């Protein structure tokens, strides 16, 4: 076992050191130098044409070549400025083989499973199984991509891969409250982690990254842990905890309590989309309790229908009946007038007040 | 006495600093992170976990790393 460790750690150290040397060469050979050197022939040619036009007195050509020299000189000046900035930037100090070896040993002692992924060119370390707020998120592999460090690409330095993924209900790429699509939102750790990576302090990088993974910041997660196993409402898209999520048996989808209600008639629960709206009272009602007015055919809930009639049709029918009654009474009273002119009779009022009493003369 | 101090709290830095001789780790921590609690930090001397009364020596490498750091979405 110790022999295996003795060969494995130096091998990993060698790979890391090779990458650090490459990074050192990158910083020691800025791109601005060849760009500057490439401009020298261009400015020489433009200057030669300018001199020739001056000597021969070609005024138009002289003005044209003067502008060419000016443009070339401006580009040369810009390239020279970039080179000065690049040369003034201190390349990061390359840690010694011993420093890297000690770092790898420290990582191995703390996490116990350091490895070097040659394909990804990354130093990889596994965490212990992580549980936050009683939610088991499993183990994670932290991958420090040395090529990205060499290219100074901070966005891809560190990747975190879930080894026992337990993603949130909303998005399967969110495997930790602070990890989305293998990227960690470092928050407070960004500064110290980047400093440690630039200085080649790999043990510190992994300890800082692990500290982020072991901590839950309720203020800014990709997905809050209290709705980790929650469901997305099919209507409004809100994520609700299981206790506040409802299943509609009609459309077989989950909804939040805001988008889930019941029929006003039979109280059967359903999502808002599966409930119809009563055209009379505007209340939500299930299909079973939605009926049609036998007179006008409008949809209405059972509470709004009376004798299979909607309120407006019911009123209309009542008025027609009253008018029929009035006509009948009139015919009857005319017949009575011939026999007994002062006879008092009861007449239902047109406004549906059946106790109204009028004399025969007033009716006539 | 000169030691290498690596502070992974805040912005993070690593530098050689001068400290008084025979300083225990607990006193060093109290000086450098007066508002911090030692149990919230991983304190290592020469890459090894140490007790709070260990005396620091010339050339020691002291690393202080928070045990918990809050991640956050960059806004």
pLDDT at B59: 94
pLDDT band at A137 (very low <50, low <70, confident <90, very high): very high
- With CA atoms as reference, report the closest residue to B33 among B71, B74, B70, B67: B67
Residue A25: what pLDDT?
Answer: 60
B47 CB within 8 Å of a chain A CB: yes
Q: Is A230 on the interface with B (CB under 8 A)?
A: no
Mean pLDDT for the stretch of residues A301-306:
83
- The domain segmentation of chain B, as residue ranges, is 2-66
Tens of pLDDT, residues B20-66: 999 999 999 999 999 899 999 999 999 999 988 999 999 999 999 99
Predicted pLDDT at A108: 92
Please count the residue pairs, one from chain A and one from chain B, whose beta carbons lie less than 8 angstroms apart.
84
Q: Is A225 within 8 Å of chain B by CB? A: no
Which positions in chain B touch A189 (Cβ < 8 Å)? 69, 71
In Å, how far is B51's CA from the nearest CA of chain A?
17
Is A245 in CB contact (< 8 Å) with chain B? no
pLDDT tens digits for range A216-229:
999 889 989 988 88
> What are the chain B neighbours of A196 within 8 Å (beta carbons)?
8, 12, 14
How much is the pLDDT for A101? 94
Nearest to B25 by CA among B13, B35, B33, B15: B33
Give the three-class secondary structure for A219: coil
What mean pLDDT, rounded, does chain A reach? Answer: 82
B20: distance to nearest CA of chain A, Å? Answer: 26
Residue A173: what pLDDT?
94
Tell me what pLDDT residue B73 has: 64
Alpha helices in chain B (DSSP H): 25-32
Enumerate the residues of chain A whose CB falls inside 8 A of the CB of residue B74: 185
Say whether residue A57 is in contact with chain B using an 8 A CB cutoff.
Answer: no
The answer to whether residues A289 and A305 touch, using CB atoms and an 8 Å cutoff, is no
**What residues of B are in contact with residue A217 (Cβ under 8 Å)?**
70-72
User: In terms of CA atoms, which chain A residue is nearest residue B61?
Assistant: A99
The residue with greater pLDDT, A287 or B27, is: B27
Check residue A316 and give its pLDDT.
85
Least confident stretch, A34-43, A334-343, A353-362? A353-362
Across the range A228-245, mean pLDDT stands at 80
CA dihedral of residues A249, A254, A256, A262 (deg, nearest 10): -10
Residue A233: the pLDDT is: 83
B10 touches chain A (CB under 8 A): yes
Residue of B nearest to A206 (CA): B65
Tally of helices (H runs) and strands (E runs) in chain A: 9, 21
Cβ distance A215 to B74 less than 8 Å, yes or no, reads no
How far, in Å, are A174, A176, A335, A346 from residue A113 at the CA level?
Answer: 24, 21, 114, 104
Distance of CA A154 to the CA centre of its chain: 23
Cut 0.90: pTM above it: no
Phi/psi at A53 (5° precision): -65, -35
CA distance A331 to A329: 5
CA–CA distance, A242 with A30 (Å, rounded to integer): 56
**What does the pLDDT read at residue A29?**
56
pLDDT tier for residue A139 given thresholds of 50, 70 and 90: very high
Q: Which residues of B touch A219 (CB under 8 A)?
A: 70, 72
Q: Inform me whether the pLDDT recorded for A360 exceeds 80.
A: no
For residue A209, the model assigns a pLDDT of: 95
Asked if the model's pLDDT at residue A361 lies above 50, the reply is: no
- CA-to-CA distance for A281 and A310, rounded, in angstroms? 10
Instruction: Assess whether pLDDT exceeds 50 at residue A358.
Output: no
Domains with residue ranges and CATH for chain A: 97-225 (3.10.110), 232-309 (no CATH), 320-363 (no CATH)
Contact at 8 Å (CB) between A333 and A364?
yes
- The answer, yes or no, to whether residue A343 has pLDDT greater than 60, is no
* Poorest-pLDDT segment among A43-52, A79-88, A336-345: A336-345
Q: Report the C-alpha gap between A249 and A259 in whole angstroms.
A: 14
Nearest to A220 by CA among A167, A161, A168, A179: A179
Superfamily holding B2-66: Beta-grasp domain (3.10.20.30)
Tens digit of pLDDT for each residue in A304-314?
Answer: 888 888 888 88
The CA distance from B48 to the nearest CA of chain A, in Å, is 8
pLDDT at A256: 84
Distances (CA, A) of A130 to A106, A162, A180, A211, A270: 21, 10, 16, 11, 39
Is the pLDDT at A72 greater than 50? The verdict is: yes
Pairwise CB contact (< 8 Å): B72 & A215: no
What is the mean pLDDT of the segment spanning A122-144? 95
d(CA A76, CA A43): 8
Confirm if A313 and A295 have CB atoms less than 8 A apart: yes
**A252-272 average pLDDT score:** 84
Q: Is residue B39 within 8 angstroms of chain A, CB to CB?
A: no
Measured between CA atoms, how close is A180 to chain B, in angstroms? Answer: 10
Q: Could you report the per-residue pLDDT of A4-49, keeping only the tens digit for each?
A: 557 889 999 998 888 887 766 655 555 678 888 888 999 999 999 9
pLDDT of residue A354: 46
Which residues in chain A (112-171) have CB-CB distances under 8 A to chain B? none
Is A223 in CB contact (< 8 Å) with chain B? no
First and final CA of chain A: distance in angstroms?
A: 122
Instruction: Provide the ipTM.
Output: 0.91
Q: Which band of pLDDT confidence, cut at 50, 70 and 90, is reported for residue A286?
A: confident
Return the top range by mean pLDDT from A16-20, A179-183, A267-271: A179-183
From B12, B68, B71, residue closest to A196, measured CB to CB: B12
What are the angstrom distances between the C-alpha of A211 and each of A65, A114, A184, A228, B68?
63, 17, 12, 21, 5
Q: Where residue A79 falls among pLDDT bands split at 50, 70, 90?
A: confident
Contact B73 A185 (CB under 8 A): yes
In the prediction, which pLDDT does A363 show?
Answer: 42
- What mean pLDDT comes out for the span A191-205? 89
Report A:192-221 residues touching B (Cβ under 8 A): 192-196, 199, 201, 203-204, 207-208, 211-212, 214-215, 217, 219-221
Q: Residue B6: list chain A partners with CB under 8 A.
A: 201, 204
Distances (CA, A) of A337 to A265, A355, A360: 53, 21, 8
């Amino acid at each position: 076992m110790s022999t295996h460790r003795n060969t494995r750690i130096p091998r990993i150290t060698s790979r890391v050191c090779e990458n650090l040397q490459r990074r050192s060469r990158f910083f020691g050979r800025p791109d601005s130098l060849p760009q500057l050197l490439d401009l020298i022939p261009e400015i020489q040619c433009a200057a030669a044409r300018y001199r020739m036009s001056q000597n021969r007195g070609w005024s138009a050509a002289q003005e044209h070549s003067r502008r060419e020299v000016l443009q070339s000189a401006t580009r040369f000046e810009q390239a020279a400025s970039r080179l000065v900035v690049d040369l003034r930037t201190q390349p990061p100090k390359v840690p010694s083989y011993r420093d890297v070896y000690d770092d790898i040993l420290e990582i191995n002692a703390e996490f116990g499973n350091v490895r070097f992924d040659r394909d990804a060119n990354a130093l990889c370390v596994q965490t212990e199984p992580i549980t936050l707020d009683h939610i088991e998120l499993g183990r994670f592999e932290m991958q420090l991509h040395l090529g990205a460090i060499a290219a100074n690409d901070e966005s891809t330095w560190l990747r975190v891969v879930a080894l026992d993924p337990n993603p949130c209900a909303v998005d399967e790429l969110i495997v930790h409250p602070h990890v989305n699509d293998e990227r960690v939102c470092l928050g407070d750790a960004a500064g110290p982690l980047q400093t440690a990576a630039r200085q080649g302090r790999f043990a510190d990088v992994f300890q800082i990254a692990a500290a982020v993974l072991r901590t839950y910041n309720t203020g800014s997660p990709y997905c809050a842990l209290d709705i980790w196993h929650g469901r997305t409402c099919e209507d409004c898209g809100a994520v609700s905890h299981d206790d506040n999520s409802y299943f509609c048996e009609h459309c077989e989808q989950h909804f939040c309590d805001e988008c889930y209600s019941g029929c006003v008639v039979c109280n059967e629960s359903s999502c808002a989309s599966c409930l119809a709206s009563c055209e009379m009272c505007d209340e939500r009602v299930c299909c079973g309790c939605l009926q049609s007015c036998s007179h006008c055919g409008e949809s209405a809930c059972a509470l709004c229908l009376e004798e299979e009639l909607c309120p407006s049709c019911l009123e209309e029918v009542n008025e027609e009946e009253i008018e029929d009654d009035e006509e009948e009474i009139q015919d009857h009273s005319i017949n009575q007038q011939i026999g007994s002119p002062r006879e008092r009779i009861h007449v239902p009022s047109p406004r549906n007040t059946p106790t109204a009493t009028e004399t025969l003369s007033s009716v006539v | 006495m000169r030691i290498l101090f690596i502070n992974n709290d805040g912005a993070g830095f690593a530098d050689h600093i001068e400290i008084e001789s025979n300083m225990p780790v607990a006193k060093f921590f109290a000086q450098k992170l007066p508002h911090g609690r030692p149990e919230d930090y991983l304190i290592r001397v020469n890459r090894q976990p140490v007790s709070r009364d260990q005396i620091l020596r010339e050339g020691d490498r002291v690393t202080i790393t928070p045990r918990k750091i809050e991640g956050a979405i960059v806004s």
